[in-house]
């Protein structure tokens, strides 16, 4: 049998070693996380349509930062790290009207607080290419935002609305949002998506208030 003092020594030594391991700072755990959600519909027939601008913005951000998309539960996902921040980008695979299910799942899985969630969506009531970031608000008839509000049980989440404009009334709103961009829009679309990508990263790097002041109406 081990002498009692020897046993005590090994117990204390083991406890000290564990304390050292768990007290070490792990960069990935210390890194502030943000969930960036682009809204859209899956399927080739929806690519490059007005309603899928959220997907297009995330594709642009991922491409500029060498992000690789992976198929995960309820979404395709990529993770970017910039200046001590971790941006978890997701494109829900639930279709637009059930986007909230993916938002709720990934927010809980990654332990991301409500104030660190940003939704990228189209806005028919804003002129084409206009950006508007808000800390909260109503869905304004947008079914994707309606479902997110229902799943999160609050309207108090940040959203970046990308103006897609609208045709003179009367017009078929459903057809309009599901149509591809017209020739005039295509000429400046890349530039506007670039600006939207900057605003998205500003939300995480500089904060909501700064992003709003710098990019709203631009």
Active-site residues, by number, are 51
Residue 126 per-residue DSSP state: S
How far apart CA 118 and CA 208 sit, in angstroms, is: 10
Residue in the structure block whose two tokens are 């084409």: 128
The three-class DSSP label of residue 120 is strand
- Helix (H) or strand (E) holding 117, with range, is strand 117-123
Both structure tokens of 79: 């993770």
Within a 10 A sphere around the Cβ of 73, how many other Cβ atoms?
10
CB-count exposure of residue 41 (10 Å: 0-12, 13-18, 19+): buried
- Which residues are bridge partners to 180 per DSSP? 49
């Amino acid at each position: 049998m081990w002498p009692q003092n020897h046993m005590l020594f090994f117990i204390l030594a083991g406890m000290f070693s564990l304390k050292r391991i768990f007290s070490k700072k792990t960069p990935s755990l210390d890194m502030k996380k943000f969930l960036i959600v682009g809204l859209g519909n899956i399927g080739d027939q929806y690519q490059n349509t007005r309603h899928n601008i959220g997907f297009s913005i995330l594709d642009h951000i991922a491409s500029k930062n060498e992000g690789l998309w992976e198929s995960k539960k309820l979404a395709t996902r990529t993770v970017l790290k910039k200046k001590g921040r971790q941006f978890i980008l997701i494109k829900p695979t639930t279709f637009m009207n059930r986007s909230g299910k993916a938002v709720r799942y990934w927010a809980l899985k990654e332990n991301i607080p409500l104030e660190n969630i940003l939704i990228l969506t189209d806005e028919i009531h804003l002129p084409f290419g206009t950006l508007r970031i808000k800390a909260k608000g109503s869905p304004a008839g947008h079914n994707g935002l309606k479902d997110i509000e229902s799943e999160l049980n609050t309207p108090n989440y940040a959203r970046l609305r990308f103006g897609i404009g609208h045709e003179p009334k009367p017009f078929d709103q459903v057809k309009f949002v599901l149509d591809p961009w017209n020739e005039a829009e295509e000429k400046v679309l890349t530039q506007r998506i670039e600006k939207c990508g900057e605003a998205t990263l500003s939300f995480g790097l500089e904060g909501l208030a700064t992003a709003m002041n710098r990019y709203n109406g631009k």
